[in-house]
Structure 1
Amino acid sequence: MGLAVESVSLSRRAFLRARSRTELNAPRRPPWALPEAAFVARCTRCDACVEACPTGVLRPAEGGYPVVDFSRAACSFCARCVEQCIPQALSPAAAAQPWALKAVIGQGCLALHGVECRVCGECCEGSAIRFRPRVGGVVLPVVDAEACTGCGACVGPCPTRAIAMESV
């Protein structure tokens, strides 16, 4: 009688970065949010951060906790949400950067299927998305991770929803 081996289906990227399943599945919290457990412990679900957000990228989600929804808007990193967070679930003292999110272009990208599209690059104020020419085909988008602020301006306008914001 042999031993049963349980198959683990973590992506190679997640494995190499040693992230837990909880962290991988955690909702996208507002900028400068405390780590998930501390955030949930402090957040009173008052919606002050959501109401203070000038771009509308924040919305209440399941359980009433705020999340970032890049399909609605981009984050300007104005920190108004932080200013309104009385329980300090959002705190710039916790991290110098608002979050560790960067744009990642997926397989649904039109350019990968031979269709000319530069919408993501046109929406990127930081010029983090550039287009690499290729022989016999349309230009391909490339994200400069150093230049990407993680604002998410490229996500909503993408006609195929091929761009995701991922933790780095």
Structure 2
Amino acid sequence: MPAAASISRRQLLKGRTATPPFAPRPPGVTEVSVGHCTGCAACVEACPQDILSLSAGRVRLLPELGECLFCGACAEACPEPVFDATRVMAHRVIIDDNCLARADITCMACRDACPESAIIMRPRIGGPFLPKLDDALCIGCGACIALCPGQAITYSPLGGPP
């Protein structure tokens, strides 16, 4: 049985199926176009940031390793129609409860790392400032994900849960 379709014994007996974790894709790769990926790894080798890999024979973005610069090297190297011209990310960024500021530890790493100034720090009484993400400004590059010391920044598909 393929790994994506496998479930644990407990899930089987309880009637629950495992939901595969969301795998973020590089800019311009849609859920449909990733089906054209042959797993040749040309895009992985072309990425100057070394933030691409193959997962189950498909290209995958690893924003936890660094920021995507939207340089287009991956799209230029790909021999298949996997990348479209829009070069927009198909995921959004989420700051969860593991944020150090929510644990009363002063941290502004995400704000400082964001090239689009999509994260602002909201003041609060009795504690450090709290990060607030402006979804309209966030481009999903992963700069904040890679530098978050609390590993509190994750991603979900566009249209997914907030």
Deviation at 1:137, TM superposition (A): 1.1
Distance 2:25 2:67 in 1: 13
Contact 2:94–2:155 under 8 Å retained in 1: yes
Determine helix, strand or coil for the equivalent of 1:35. coil
Which whole-Å deviations, capped at 9, do the CAs of 1:79-132 have from their partners, x for residues lacking one? 11111111111222xxx3522322210000010111100011111111111100
Deviation at 1:135, TM superposition (A): 1.0
1:140 maps onto 2:130 in alignment: yes
1:46 maps onto 2:46 in alignment: no
1:81 maps onto 2:71 in alignment: no
Displaced runs of 4 or more, over 4 A: 6-9
Provide the residue aligned with 2:25 in structure 1: 29
Q: How does 1:1-168 map to 2 (within 5 A)?
A: 25-36=21-32, 38-40=33-35, 42-61=36-55, 63-92=56-85, 96-168=86-158
Distance 2:143 2:102 in 1: 20
Structure 1: runs of 5+ lacking an equivalent = 1-5, 10-20
Structure 2: runs of 5+ lacking an equivalent = 1-13
Deviation at 1:34, TM superposition (A): 3.3
Distance 2:54 2:16 in 1: 32
Deviation at 1:7, TM superposition (A): 9.3
Distance 2:40 2:94 in 1: 32
Determine helix, strand or coil for the equivalent of 2:147. coil
Distance 1:26 1:71 in 2: 14
Contact 2:23–2:60 under 8 Å retained in 1: yes
Q: What is the TM-score normalised by the length of structure 2?
A: 0.79
**RMSD between aligned alpha carbons?**
2.2
Provide the residue aligned with 1:16 in structure 2: none
Determine helix, strand or coil for the equivalent of 1:71. helix
Distance 2:31 2:124 in 1: 42
Q: What is the TM-score normalised by the length of structure 1?
A: 0.77
Determine helix, strand or coil for the equivalent of 1:32. coil
Query: How many residues were matched structurally?
Result: 144
Distance 2:38 2:77 in 1: 12
